[in-house]
Amino acid sequence: MSVLIDVQGLGKTFTDTTMRLGPKRPPVRAVESVSFQIHQGEALAVVGESGCGKSTLGRLLLHLIEASEGRVMFENRDMSAMSRHEIRQLRQRMQMVFQDPFGSLSPRRTVADIIAEPMDSFGLTKSRKDRREKVAELLDLVGLPPSYMDRRPRQFSGGQRQRIGIARAISVDPAFIVADEPVSALDVSIQAQIINLMQDLQEKRGFSFLFIAHDLAVVRHVADRVAVMYLGRIVEMGTKAQIYSSPHHPYTEALMSAAPRPDPAARSNRIILEGDVPSPSNVPSGCPFRTRCPLAAEICSVERPPLIEVEPGHTAACHFATPYPIAQRSPAT
Partner 1 sequence: MTEVLAEAIITEPHPATNKWADVWRQFSHHKGALIGLLFFAFITLFVLIGPYIWTLDPNKLDIRAKDMRPIYTVLWNGEARVGWNHPLGTDNLGKDLLAQLMQGGRTSMAVGWTGMVLALFIGALIGVVAGFFRRLDGPLMRFTDLVLSLPILPLLLVAVTLFRESLSQMLGIETGMFILIVTIIGLTSWMQTARIVRGDVLALKEREFILAARSIGTPNNKIITRHILPNVLSPIMVSATLGLATAIITESALSFLGVGFPPDFPTWGKQLADAVPRMTEYPERVVLPGLAISLTVLSVNYIGDGLRDALDPRIRGR
CA dihedral 291, 295, 301, 305 (to 10 degrees): -110
Per rule CB under 8 A, is residue 6 in the interface with partner 1? no
Q: Cα(51)–Cα(5) distance, rounded to whole angstroms? A: 24
Q: Which is nearer to partner 1, 118 or 232 (CB)?
A: 118
Per rule CB under 8 A, is residue 53 in the interface with partner 1? no
Per rule CB under 8 A, is residue 108 in the interface with partner 1? yes
Q: How far is the CB of 125 from partner 1 (least distance, A)?
A: 14
- What are the residues whose beta carbons fall under 8 Å from the beta carbon of 41, sequence distance 6 or more? 1, 202, 206, 207, 208
Interface region with partner 1, contact rule CB under 8 A, candidates 99-107, 241-249, 252-260, 293-301: 99-107
For 84, how many CA atoms within 13 A lie in the half-sphere containing its CB? 1
Q: Which is nearer to partner 1, 177 or 223 (CB)?
A: 177
Q: Cα(53)–Cα(46) distance, rounded to whole angstroms? A: 10
Per rule CB under 8 A, is residue 190 in the interface with partner 1? yes
Interface region with partner 1, contact rule CB under 8 A, candidates 28-36, 147-155, 224-232, 293-301: 147-155
> Contact 67/60 with Cβ under 8 angstroms?
yes
Per rule CB under 8 A, is residue 12 in the interface with partner 1? no
Per rule CB under 8 A, is residue 118 in the interface with partner 1? yes
Binding mask 167-186 for partner 1 (x = CB under 8 A): -x------------------
Judged on CB neighbours under 10 Å (0-12, 13-18, 19+), 247 is: buried
Judged on CB neighbours under 10 Å (0-12, 13-18, 19+), 17 is: exposed
Q: Cα(214)–Cα(71) distance, rounded to whole angstroms? A: 25
Per CB under 8 A, residues contacting partner 1 are: 19, 62, 64, 88-89, 91-92, 95-96, 98-100, 103-109, 113, 117-118, 121-122, 147-148, 150-152, 154-160, 165, 168, 187, 189-190, 193
